[in-house]
Chains A and B, each alone.
Chain A
Amino acid sequence: MKDATAIVGIGETAFAKRLEASEKELALEAILNALDDAGIDASEVDGLASYTMESTDEVEIAKNIGAGDISFFTQVGYGGGAGPALIGQLAMAIATGQCKVGVAWRSRKRGSGGRPWTSTAEAPTVASSWTRPFGLLRPADEIAMLTRRYMYEYGATREHLANIALAVRKMANANPRAMMHERKLVREEYMASRWVSEPLCLFDCCLETDGALACVIVGRSHASDCRSHPVYIHSFGQGLPQQSHTMVNYFSDDPLTGPSAACAKSLYRSSDIGPSDLSVAQIYDAFTPLVLLSLEGYGFCGKGEAAAFTEDGALELGGRLPINTSGGGLSEAYVHGFNLINEGVRQLRGASVNQVTNAESCLVTGGEGVPTSAVILRN
């Protein structure tokens, strides 16, 4: 499937703490924008991919946009781990002839629609029976546990987490569409901010956003007919490592080697592009420490070296590896990471507000700490 398919359209809605439109309406807006961007009529759509957590199913999407007969549809689980898998699975389906025009999307009112962890209506799951009764309630608590151990093992400090939060905020400050566009963040403010779950503070945690995004994928032979510059899907991986648990990945032999390490194996196995070739990346950032684990998992540095990797502005424009160039989940919008996909496309179109000079390829990752996925996009 290497370079056999391309993303030819991206679309999104506004991002805000509260949008009035429903998740369905937002999904439709993002999808139709993406089809417009590609110059493809909705009647040509025959493939759909979404998150299992999506509230609008394929039937609703297809009948509202006026899709043709859908010959491939799939959903991927585990929230933020799913995004790049949607792209990869559509690419496989197109490369094997199951469909010709694939649409992936995510629509979520996480800003105004409530916090999932506050729900006590359902009985705890297999994993949460061992965590929630003890007050380990929120994703921030779950990731803070790994963060504390990471700091202990490798000497990482809050200064390193701040390097990530500040680098990504600077990206958002240059992006008028970012929720944090006008909100500068300085190190002193980071250090003085309130705790969410020690050792994680407010600025280690992503935004709460209403919004939707989508993209359109077609085969290589079809890509040059489209309105926008095609960005090729070079390689794709998924990773559900041995003995892992979702979010509370405490029960494997080494909890500090997360799902990204397993995902990276399959991602790079089929890739001509390795970590040393990548000059920009969109790394899932629901929490700053996920970036540390991902930098190691995807091979940008050795195990335990990610904290040092963040020093000297390495993650900022002009640094070794600018990340999350639209502001990521920390500072643009948190929509289960789909904004990272669209920003990866913009980088390779030369259309990012934080354009990395001569970017020829871009890594886009799904969430660390959950069964995950990644793609490498290229020109």
Chain B
Amino acid sequence: MLLPAITDENLAFWEGTRKGVLRVQRCQDTQRLIFPPRARSPWGARRVPEWTDVSGRGKIWSFVVPHPPLLPEFDKYAPYNVVLIELEEDSKLRLVGNLVTSAGAKINSGDPGSIQIGAEVRVVFERINEDITLPRWVLSGPEFD
């Protein structure tokens, strides 16, 4: 498994996913949200950003459907999807992830042909090991929730 490298900068994010919450950074001066994490806020007085929970709701900004040749651990799921999600709190804040049919479902669990840019999604979590819980995404909105 290709796992993220946990660093001082991103530790709070991965602590959050372990607890089932999505967290991003926030500039202490401008209150602007920041992702991916930085050592300093690029805005305001450029202080160390604080962390804040977000709703875990968003929309699909774009997506791809990779086909082989891939790494073996992904070849077995191909074709699967990778989505880029814009967060409800700030549409300029985007996270890469996968659309799945339910929490714990595989990254090829849905039909890639049915994925639509703009579709509403909410975060779910998949525990990979003791340290890493990955955020995934399921369709949301009135007809799904």
Question: A residues touching B (Cβ–Cβ < 8 Å)?
Answer: 118, 120, 123-127, 129-138, 141, 144-146, 148-149, 152, 194-199, 243, 245, 248, 250-251, 253, 255
Contacts and interface: CB of A to CB of B under 8 A. Distances in A.
B84 A194 contact: no
Nearest to A117: B71
Output the residue of B7, B63, B132 with the most chain A CB within 10 A.
Answer: B63
B42 interface: yes
A110 to B, nearest CB: 15
A31 B79 CA distance: 43
Contacts of A118: 71
B77 A135 contact: yes
A197 B97 CA distance: 16
Contacts of B134: 133-134
Given A148-B63, A250-B96, A141 B5 contact: no
Contacts of B66: 135-138, 141, 144, 196-198
A145 B61 CA distance: 9
Contacts of A152: 62, 117
Contacts of A195: 65, 67, 79
Contacts of B84: 145, 149, 250
Nearest to B63: A148
Given A130-B95, A134-B134, A198-B79, A251 B36 contact: yes
B10 interface: yes
Contacts, number: 105
Nearest to A254: B92
Interface string B95-112: 111100000000100001
19 contacts: A120-B2, A120-B71, A124-B5, A126-B7, A129-B5, A129-B10, A130-B4, A133-B2, A134-B97, A135-B70, A137-B66, A137-B74, A145-B64, A145-B82, A149-B117, A152-B117, A198-B66, A198-B79, A251-B36
Contacts of A194: 67
Contacts of B36: 126-127, 129-130, 245, 251
Given A124-B2, A198-B112, A135 B98 contact: yes
Given A141-B64, A145-B62, A146-B62, 18 more contacts: A118-B71, A124-B2, A124-B3, A127-B36, A130-B96, A132-B2, A134-B98, A135-B77, A135-B107, A136-B64, A136-B96, A138-B70, A148-B62, A148-B117, A196-B66, A197-B67, A198-B112, A245-B36
A129 B95 CA distance: 11
Contacts of B82: 134-136, 141, 145
B108 to A, nearest CB: 10
Contacts of B80: 135
B134 to A, nearest CB: 6
A97 B85 CA distance: 50
Contact of A124 (B4, B94, B112): B4
B64 A198 contact: yes
Contact of A250 (B3, B4, B5, B94): B94
Nearest to A199: B64
Interface in B24-54: 35-36, 42
Contacts of A137: 2, 66, 70-71, 74
Contacts of B42: 243
Contact of B94 (A120, A144, A197, A251): A251
A129 B4 contact: yes
Contacts of A245: 36
Instruction: Across the A-B interface, give the 9 residue pairs with the lowest CB-CB distance, nearest first.
Output: A198-B65, A129-B4, A149-B62, A144-B64, A123-B5, A195-B67, A148-B62, A197-B66, A135-B74
Nearest to A124: B5
Contacts of B98: 134-135
Nearest to A149: B62
Nearest to B5: A123
B104 to A, nearest CB: 15
A137 B98 CA distance: 13
A272 B117 CA distance: 42
A111 to B, nearest CB: 15
Contact of B64 (A129, A132, A197): A197
Output the residue of A120, A196, A198 with the most chain B CB within 10 A.
Answer: A198
Nearest to A118: B71
Nearest to A115: B69
Contacts of A120: 2, 71
Nearest to B14: A129
B85 to A, nearest CB: 10
A196 B5 CA distance: 27
Nearest to A198: B65
Contacts of A126: 7, 9, 36
Nearest to B1: A133
Contacts of B10: 129
